[in-house]
Structure 1
Amino acid sequence: MNQLWIIGGGPGNEKYVLPQAAQAIEEADFIFADRRYLHLVHHSRREPFGTISGVVEAIERRLETGTVGVVVSGNPLFYSLTKILLSHFSKEQIQIIPGLGSLDYFAAKCKKNTEKGAFFSAHGRALSMDEILDVLDGGRDVYMLCDGEHGPDWLAGRLCDRGRGDLAMAAGTDLSYDSETIVHGTALEISRQTFGPLSVAAVFPEKGEDKRAGEGAKATALLKDSSFIRGKVPMTKEELRWIVAGKLELRPGSIVWDIGAGTGSVGAECARLLKAVGGGQVYCVERSFQGCDLILENKNKFGLNNVEICHGEALDCMSSLPAPTHVFIGGSGRTLKEILEHIRAIGPDIRVLVSCVTLETLTMTLDSFETLNFQSVDVVQVLVSRSKALGSYHVMESGYPVTLCSGITPKLGIFDG
């Protein structure tokens, strides 16, 4: 049985081809190679890749007469043709000769240790920005093989969209060739440049510090009202929002419903706290298109990949959401009783917090809590006053008092008798 050698061609320059790989290229009876690697083959027994199906058929024909070598880019075990060849030919027939990967070469040029790096490829694959952001939030570096449509500037632009424009990045083009270019800068700076098709990118997070969108604050810091993008949609004010975040008693892995989310300020506060304590998910339910647009803008501004937006009436959205551990109701559109009944039916131990501005909402909440046998009911009224200049003096000006009613859903089947 003639052998099939899968040969790592390194980043491209011949001086980075390993000696065993160079020897295999010379000794193979026939070589298939990517066009940019044909210069590594110093004999005429060679042919460039065509389509994947075409090259597999061509390899099968050539194997009938001798040993075949296939030169693949970089490391043959990392996002290469190797996976397909292993599925078409027997492992006994295949020998894999390693090569230096482009990302390893790039990291060395950047003087970076890759022990905790996460590696992605845009070559014919869907990229998840949420997954990339999760890696960065975990304090790990991101390395990416780019393609013509998803270059370093594309990745940098997506980071800017998520409010991460000041993260440190590096981008490399034509690695190992005489035309090699490596640039460093913030994601915002990289997003304004153009790069060739043979490019790679890296993102280096600031460890332990949240520098998103100029906030300059620790990830656990509470947000000021001025931090949010705001429109004409009502927003829970900062002092009340901070109390709500504490009263919800979030824990690692919490699933939060923010019903009547408005601008998403409570949801954003909860999402940041969950990131700080070890993870969790927030679902913002909002019926107005304007509100959903603002939630999305604020989600991107603060880089909150653990926030999902559900547009529609609460009763329509809730059935499609994962069961919550915590629910904040900031607006219910006259369906408060039905919303609480739905939450009650999901199961026990769901902490529910309702914000009541009107006496009617307060009465409906307490009546529903009693009827549905909510446990550990607690009622707190909050009145926030702010100083206001009055000539050369200052007076305190109050807003409406807000009553926060909290309770926990009971075990199913338990009702007051």
Structure 2
Amino acid sequence: MEQSETIAPVRCVCIAGMGPGTSSLMTAEAARVVAEADIVVGAPRLIEGLEVAEHARLVPAVLSADILAALAEGGWRRAVVAMSGDVGMFSGARGLATLLRDALGDVEVRTVPGVSSMQCLAAALERPWQGWRFRSAHGVELDVAAEAREGGELFLVTGGAHASVGELCARLVDAGLGDARVSVGERLGYPEQRVVCSTASELAGEPFDTLSVMLVEATSPGAGAVEARWPWATPGIPDELFVRARVPMTKQEVRAAAVAKLRVARGDTVWDVGAGTGSVSVECALLSRTGDVWAVERKAEAVELVRENARRFGLSNLHVVAGKAPQALAGLPVPDAVFVGGSAGTLAEVLAAARAANPRVRVCVSAITLETLARATELLAGAGWEGFDAAQVQASRADKIGPYHLMRAQNPVFLVSAQGVADAPEAGGDVRGAAPSVPAEGQGNPKGVGA
């Protein structure tokens, strides 16, 4: 019987991590494949000054389309695509490898790791990096304040029109994180390398080279609060930590139960309709972290209180919408969960708007009157909803009188909750206030894969 032989591809493309961009930090393996290549393609700063074979061509290209076009010309057996840093650290290497195989046919594609900017900064700071969290603001939307509030050590790749070191530090300051420690590595590996360690306040707006990375360390892990800090990942913030004035507020025990009914997860978008002081909004914003909470309130005094409480807790992901629902809901991002603390007689319209925006929305309605309880039950137990639940929450607090402590009862509150059903008829109400669907923003590097 004849045995078939596997014929190796005639051509090979190496996607090589070039480190920060200087030959001194290029690995020996990367230097070898470059020296043996017939063509080297990459960003100008990466291929300039490389030691290549006499016959080899150096082709400057950053966008994947330009890289493919350069290699499609043929006339080579060994090619190298030079990429900055390491091919496994916020790199387009994986996507490029797929494109190369699809476009060039019978070629071998392999990757060669390199030294990352993360390693260079850690070495410059003489610190271990294994406990860092890694995020990129280069060409993608990133809520740097929400990420910093997670605490610990946050490594960021910077770059782009709105993601420079100075801009990112300014966002931290706006979110009440101006005292966060920030270490910046500028042009790491180059002769003009600079490492600056300061606070976000001191570095906000400062100019740094586009080839910069930063390490952020929030001084209060978890909460990021300015005056009253809540570093725990649990609901039920004490009432006295909020600014209240004369505006009614959902009390601590009821608030904790309501947030539990909403099942707020990291990254969720939440509407708080009739936000009052914003206490529920604050709880949801701390739980959502990288998501956004939209506090809708019609009373001017309450609107200012929500803003003040957002500042107290350093929440850049809590947004205040002044206006009456359901009209004020128009145009808001699609909600995952909606809390209705007050609807001023428009409960049906508010629930219809929530379901029109997201048929599977999770809803919790707070009711202190029997009339609101009856209306919420009628709506959420009806068509278009499932998982109906109604609970009465009544708490008592210890009050010290002389040498004794007496329990004083608070007013009972009803929590009515349910989840929308997709493709079900509306439960009633005017949906003219419904928010339109907002497509998710695309991720990726608009500058291409070879920068």
TM-score scaled by structure 2?
Answer: 0.65
- In structure 1, the residue matched to 2:384 is none
Determine if the alignment matches structure 1 residue 41 to structure 2 residue 41: no
Q: What is the letter of the counterpart of residue 187 of structure 1?
A: A
Contact 2:16/2:81, CA 8 A, preserved across alignment:
yes
- In structure 2, the residue matched to 1:391 is none
| SS in structure 2 at match of 1:250 | helix
Pick from 196, 200, 213 the counterpart of residue 226 of structure 2.
213
Q: Which runs of 5+ in 1 are unaligned?
A: 356-361, 385-401, 413-417
Q: What is the letter of the counterpart of residue 405 of structure 1?
A: V
Determine if the alignment matches structure 1 residue 333 to structure 2 residue 348: no
Determine if the alignment matches structure 1 residue 20 to structure 2 residue 29: yes
Offset, 1:297: 6.5
| SS in structure 1 at match of 2:172 | helix
Determine if the alignment matches structure 1 residue 128 to structure 2 residue 139: no
Determine if the alignment matches structure 1 residue 56 to structure 2 residue 68: yes
Contact 2:34/2:40, CA 8 A, preserved across alignment:
yes
Offset, 1:339: 6.1
| SS in structure 1 at match of 2:179 | coil
Offset, 1:328: 4.7
For the structure 1 residues 48 and 165, does the alpha-carbon distance in structure 2 shift closer, same or farther, using more than 3 Å as the test?
farther
For the aligned residue pairs, the C-alpha RMSD in angstroms reads 4.6
Offset, 1:283: 4.9
Q: Deviations over 1:217-248 (max 9, x none)?
A: 544683677865x9xx96336xx643542564
TM-score scaled by structure 1?
Answer: 0.70
For the structure 1 residues 74 and 247, does the alpha-carbon distance in structure 2 shift closer, same or farther, using more than 3 Å as the test?
closer
Pick from 182, 203, 214 the counterpart of residue 201 of structure 1.
214
More relative contact order, 1 or 2 (CA 8 Å, 6+ apart): 2
Q: What is the letter of the counterpart of residue 27 of structure 1?
A: E
| SS in structure 2 at match of 1:7 | strand
Alpha-carbon distance in 2 for matches of 1:350, 1:32:
54
Higher helix content, 1 or 2: 1
Aligned 1:305-320 pairs, distance under 5 A: 307=318, 312-316=323-327
Alpha-carbon distance in 1 for matches of 2:351, 2:158:
49
Alpha-carbon distance in 1 for matches of 2:49, 2:204:
33
For the structure 1 residues 56 and 291, does the alpha-carbon distance in structure 2 shift closer, same or farther, using more than 3 Å as the test?
farther
Alpha-carbon distance in 2 for matches of 1:4, 1:337:
62
| SS in structure 1 at match of 2:85 | coil
Alpha-carbon distance in 2 for matches of 1:291, 1:90:
64
Q: Deviations over 1:110-142 (max 9, x none)?
A: 34444343333344x22221xx55544444532
- In structure 2, the residue matched to 1:9 is 18
Aligned length: 375
Alpha-carbon distance in 2 for matches of 1:287, 1:157:
30
Please identify, of 403-412 and 140-149, the stretch whose mean Cα deviation from structure 2 is larger: 403-412
Offset, 1:147: 1.8
Q: Which runs of 5+ in 2 are unaligned?
A: 1-9, 382-388, 400-409, 421-451
Q: Percent same amino acid at aligned positions?
A: 24
Aligned 1:149-188 pairs, distance under 5 A: 149=161, 150-188=163-201
For the structure 1 residues 405 and 87, does the alpha-carbon distance in structure 2 shift closer, same or farther, using more than 3 Å as the test?
same
Q: What is the letter of the counterpart of residue 255 of structure 2?
A: A
For the structure 1 residues 46 and 379, does the alpha-carbon distance in structure 2 shift closer, same or farther, using more than 3 Å as the test?
same
Contact 2:296/2:323, CA 8 A, preserved across alignment:
yes
Q: Deviations over 1:393-412 (max 9, x none)?
A: xxxxxxxxx95531446999
Determine if the alignment matches structure 1 residue 147 to structure 2 residue 159: yes
